[in-house]
Structure 1
Amino acid sequence: MTTIEIDRETGTKPSTSRSADMKFEVVVIPVSDVDRAKAFYARLGWRLDADFTSGNDWRVIQFTPPGSACSVIFGRNVTAAAPGSARGLYLIVPDLEAARQDLLDRGVAVSAPFHGAGDVHTGPDEPYLFGSVRVGGVDPKRGSYSSFASFSDPDGNGWLFQEVTTRLPGRIAAGDTTFASQTDLAAALRRASVAHGEHEKRIGGHDENWADWYADYIVREQAGQELPT
């Protein structure tokens, strides 16, 4: 079993000096049938941003997953890669089972949840972040970064859901608490609600400052800092 332990005391601090922002915004994936790929990604519920064409020689289609700052592009004469050769395309989700069910409801085949096998990283399965061993089911500890599910587009380009609920330290600055979607914010509020319930048990009554406690919890969780008790 592989579980990512969140060490809130250590972590790489972001550099304070940089010449320019570098925003990773587009991944180009190779497909053999552009219209078939367009229909598939539309069925996922992703936003269609563009469909540009010039005769029969060139076409560019862009889709963006819900809540994502990065988009995918495919088309005709936009990459020399072999169709279906893109692997390890990760979609970060706050609730793996909800994300799986959404695609299943849309008629998209998705693997069962799986997690890593601890210190064993070599096996018969398709490689992913934790090696080539996929143990069935979500991570028993439900550790952040530790539960996955996979699916592919019609050409075989491989996507994975990865459940992330708490970021490792240094991934998000404490002053930059943002949520890419209503779903992400709702999930954070639910986690704060559960933690606050335990807090009220410890203090033996209703917390009049619950709103401040929620805010502090959510900001600290996203920044990978020690959580309030």
Structure 2
Amino acid sequence: MNNTPAPSETAIETPRAQRVDMKLEVVVIPVSDVDRAKRFYSGLGWRLDADFAAGDDFRVIQFTPPGSGCSVIFGKNVTAAAPGSAQGRYLIVSDIEAARDELLGRGVEISEVFHDASDVYVGADAPYLFGRLRVNGQDPEHRSYRSFASFSDPDGNGWLFQEITARLPGRVDGNDTTFTSSTELAGALRRAAAAHGEHEKRTGQQDADWPDWYAEYIIREQAGEPPPS
């Protein structure tokens, strides 16, 4: 008698709940000229965390983008990957035009803003969005996940800005709402103010409990849930 589970039985097995936090800490970027790469990433305004060397055969440099919980490292004998082979590295921003303008002000060459015109967002990969031809300009409805801008480091490693102001359902724990910068929080407050103004128009009266309404709106927005009534 064969007691081997059928493939369908394995596929539908429910995984056990994850009980240990696993935070993505570092992404490795393959470069050919360490000092040139260091100048480039420093020029982006990223924080230099480390520059360690062990003799002439090993060196590692770590940078962290503003507001990011994940850093990048590169150096000498850090990775066997070919320089320039890191592509589609996403940098999430709440205002893509402001992020692009900042890089332009730092002398970094960056594409115009473009967007995914399809009905369902599925990802990004220049010059197409997984088979969908990208369209110039920001998403007309300013929807999250839809607007992008791309740039590369001197080795050709590719980066994408992606504008997100509200997460998809399930992507954020409503009990653990956080902001990585004052700029991000200010943007959330502006959106809450605009939404609250529409709320007061619907009710026809001023809302004395607007701080509570703002707080609930921000939590719901980050969790991808509808705004409070």
> Normalising to structure 1: TM-score of the pair?
0.87
Could you list the per-position Cα deviations for residues 32-69 of structure 1 after superposition, in whole angstroms to 9, with x for gaps in the alignment? Answer: 11111111111111111111011211000000001111
Could you list the per-position Cα deviations for residues 140-173 of structure 1 after superposition, in whole angstroms to 9, with x for gaps in the alignment? Answer: 1211100000000111100000001110111111
Is contact 2:221-2:227 (8 Å) kept?
Answer: yes
Is contact 1:58-1:77 (8 Å) kept?
Answer: yes
**Residue 104 of structure 2 corresponds to which residue in structure 1?**
104
> Normalising to structure 2: TM-score of the pair?
0.87
Q: Is the counterpart of residue 190 in structure 1 residue 194 in structure 2? A: no
Instruction: Determine the C-alpha separation between the residues in 1 that align with 2:64 and 2:20.
Output: 24
**Residue 149 of structure 1 corresponds to which residue in structure 2?**
149
Instruction: Determine the C-alpha separation between the residues in 1 that align with 2:131 and 2:72.
Output: 25
Instruction: Determine the C-alpha separation between the residues in 1 that align with 2:193 and 2:75.
Output: 45
Is contact 2:90-2:159 (8 Å) kept?
Answer: yes
Q: What amino acid maps onto 1:102 in structure 2?
A: E
SS in 2 for 1:188: helix
Q: Is the counterpart of residue 163 in structure 1 residue 163 in structure 2? A: yes
**Residue 136 of structure 2 corresponds to which residue in structure 1?**
136
Could you list the per-position Cα deviations for residues 182-217 of structure 1 after superposition, in whole angstroms to 9, with x for gaps in the alignment? Answer: 111111111111111111222223221111110010
Shift of residue 17 of structure 1?
2.1
User: In the superposition, relative to structure 1, how do residues 117 and 140 fare at CA in structure 2: closer, same or farther (>3 Å)?
Assistant: same
Instruction: Determine the C-alpha separation between the residues in 1 that align with 2:19 and 2:216.
Output: 32
Instruction: Determine the C-alpha separation between the residues in 1 that align with 2:139 and 2:214.
Output: 26
**Residue 11 of structure 2 corresponds to which residue in structure 1?**
none
Shift of residue 132 of structure 1?
5.5
Is contact 2:118-2:132 (8 Å) kept?
Answer: no
Q: What amino acid maps onto 1:63 in structure 2?
A: F
SS in 1 for 2:156: coil
Alignment of 1:1-229 (within 5 A): 17-118=17-118, 126-127=126-127, 129-131=129-131, 133-229=133-229
User: In the superposition, relative to structure 1, how do residues 130 and 144 fare at CA in structure 2: closer, same or farther (>3 Å)?
Assistant: farther
Could you list the per-position Cα deviations for residues 53-99 of structure 1 after superposition, in whole angstroms to 9, with x for gaps in the alignment? Answer: 11211000000001111110000000001111110000011111011
Q: What amino acid maps onto 2:165 in structure 1?
A: T
Is contact 1:174-1:219 (8 Å) kept?
Answer: yes
Instruction: Determine the C-alpha separation between the residues in 2 that align with 1:92 and 1:34.
Output: 25
Q: Percent identity?
A: 70
SS in 1 for 2:133: coil
Instruction: Give 5+ residue unaligned stretches, structure 1.
Output: 1-14
Shift of residue 119 of structure 1?
6.9
Instruction: Determine the C-alpha separation between the residues in 2 that align with 1:79 and 1:48.
Output: 19
Instruction: Select the structure of larger CA radius of gyration.
Output: 2
SS in 2 for 1:60: strand
Instruction: Determine the C-alpha separation between the residues in 2 that align with 1:222 and 1:55.
Output: 47
Is contact 1:59-1:76 (8 Å) kept?
Answer: yes
**Residue 6 of structure 1 corresponds to which residue in structure 2?**
none
Instruction: Determine the C-alpha separation between the residues in 1 that align with 2:219 and 2:198.
Output: 18
Instruction: Determine the C-alpha separation between the residues in 1 that align with 2:120 and 2:162.
Output: 19
